[in-house]
Homo-oligomer: A and B are copies of this chain.
Amino acid sequence: MPSSLVAQITAMGQNARAAARLGARASTSVKNRALEASAAALRRDRQLLLDANARDVAQAKVHGQDSAFIDRLTLTEKSIDAMALGLEQIAQLPDPVGEITDMARRPSGIEVGRMRVPLGVIAIIYESRPNVTADAAGLCLKSGNACILRGGSEALHSNQAIARALLEGLHQADLPTNLIQVLDTTDRAAVDILVGLSGLVDVVVPRGGKGLIERISQQARVPVLKHLHGVCHTFIDASADIPMAIKVADNAKTQRYGTCNTMETLLVHQAIAPSVLPPLAEQYRAKGVELRGDEATRKLIPFAVPATDTDWETEYLAPILAIRIVADLDAALDHIARYGSQHTDAILTNDWVNAQRFLREVDSSSVMVNASTRFADGFEYGLGAEIGISTDKLHARGPVGLNGLTSQKYIVLGHGEIRGG
């Protein structure tokens, strides 16, 4: 790696570390003022943003990017408004920093509790979705963290334009502009250096496809808060209410195809399969969902194609659904433990014991009873905006909002106590 690039990225890390100390002690009102001023600047600079974005979009088209890519990259009047509104909504969320919990007096006389504090410096690596620049920076700022943002190179001009509005917000609130730094080199080596800055960067949040996340997890020398993939299951238990099961299983698959909390595999108890699968399959067929089933499923749904072992572990992100008929709850639990991605899994049942077992025994970041997997989302959970959904087990599991960008330290209030005294 070129030493000048190492020096440049290291300096960003040092600047972020220094700014983080000031961000951690900034008052709620100062942080909110910065968020609101940034939102105002985004609205005011709407035309500048659209122009910068048009350059990126034109370039991406020249590079032959597909229409889904262009969609994600494109800013509109509406999406700029949504970004500004997002920052204002973050300003309205409660400030997590400084919360003190669990204070208790110990036999020695000291009082011990925990105080919520920012993580410090957060590096966010994402693909060519310019709106992430504003969302991620806003969440980091509100939670008292400094951030270093590295968006997809195809969105460079858009991100720079958004960053200018964010920096103006910091400036107006008298906060150090190094609280939000945008890495504007398109050199991929820069990311490798950034995620190796142990001691300067406290956590890396990769947002994007599986390839990006795996590459960063491999490279990182600092902790990674990551979401690998979502192979989400719905299990229709023998006792499920059939109209409810059809409604929920349909929603879990078809409300949106491309999201990580979309159901990818449907498990059905053998006792209820003959009643629930045919009408449900008709509903999927009407919406153009391709069904892939095991042998038992294909006896009930003649138009289902055979599922292979690969299907059980595939996140389609598309109108395709794998279906398997299982003998009982234990078989469903085994299937999920073996093929699942510990993201979100749901049971549809009217059986108390089975519902309780499913809730306890499925080791996923969200486990649901009688609800659509599509609810696994920061807004739906009441966290406000989310920086992502974590399928890791340490620190934050599931949707990660402001609290997930903080940590808790111990505080001890004494009166001159000594140990062994």
Contact = CB atoms under 8 A, between A and B. Distances in A.
A410 B202 CA distance: 25
A244 interface: yes
Interface in A375-421: 375-376, 380-382, 392-395, 397-399, 407-421
B417 A372 contact: yes
Given A255-B419, A363-B117, A412-B366, A225 B407 contact: no
B410 A247 contact: no
Contacts of A200: none
Contacts of A376: 410, 412
Interface in A199-237: 202-203, 223, 225
Interface in A251-267: 251, 255
Given A244-B416, A247-B418, A363-B120, A394 B393 contact: no
Q: Which of A247, A251, A411 has the most CB of B within 10 A?
A: A411
A130 to B, nearest CB: 25
Contact of A393 (B25, B202, B382, B411): B202
B382 A104 contact: yes
Contacts of A372: 414, 417-419
A128 B21 CA distance: 39
Give the secondary structure class of A's interface: mixed
A379 to B, nearest CB: 9
B337 A411 contact: no
B359 A115 contact: yes
Copies per assembly: 2
Contacts of A106: 380-382
Contact of A369 (B363, B367, B375, B414): B414
Contacts of A337: 21
A52 interface: no
A115 B356 CA distance: 12
A98 interface: yes
Contacts of A375: 108, 110, 412, 414, 417, 419
Contacts of A416: 241, 244, 247-248, 370-371
B361 A25 contact: yes
A244 B415 CA distance: 9
A108 B380 contact: yes
Contacts of A225: 394
Contacts of A382: 104, 106, 112
A371 B202 contact: no
B409 A365 contact: yes
Interface string A155-174: 00000000000000000000
A368 B412 contact: yes
A112 B381 contact: yes
Q: Which of A241, A250, A421 has the most CB of B within 10 A?
A: A421
Contacts of A414: 248, 368-372, 375
18 contacts: A104-B382, A112-B382, A115-B359, A223-B394, A248-B417, A250-B418, A363-B409, A365-B409, A366-B410, A366-B412, A367-B410, A367-B411, A369-B414, A370-B413, A371-B413, A380-B419, A393-B407, A395-B395
Interface of A: 21, 24-25, 98, 104, 106, 108, 110, 112, 115, 117, 119-120, 202-203, 223, 225, 241, 244, 247-248, 250-251, 255, 337, 346, 359-361, 363-372, 374-376, 380-382, 392-395, 397-399, 407-421
